[in-house]
Amino acid sequence: MIIGLIKENPGITQPTLANKFNVDLKTIKRDMEKLKAENKIIRIGGSKDGYWKILKG
């Protein structure tokens, strides 16, 4: 589900994802760290001007 939203909007922020899924920000951060560890996503650029890139999934 996170990957689907990243596909639609690579610049989406973690707080926005947390709001969309109605979960705590810590939950999104944990889930995204897992996706990064599984080499499914990477962050390109900084927190203000960066975006998420999907590697697989």
pLDDT recorded at residue 33: 97
Residue with tokens 């989406």: 12
Which of 3.40.50, 1.25.40, 2.40.30, 1.10.10 is the CATH number of 2-54?
1.10.10
- Return the percentage of the chain with pLDDT > 70, whole number: 98
More confident site: 48 or 24: 24
Report the C-alpha gap between 55 and 57 in whole angstroms: 7
Residue with tokens 């650029």: 45
pLDDT band at 54 (very low <50, low <70, confident <90, very high): very high
| Residue boundaries of the structural domains of the chain | 2-54
* Residues 28-45: tens digit of each pLDDT: 999 999 999 999 999 999
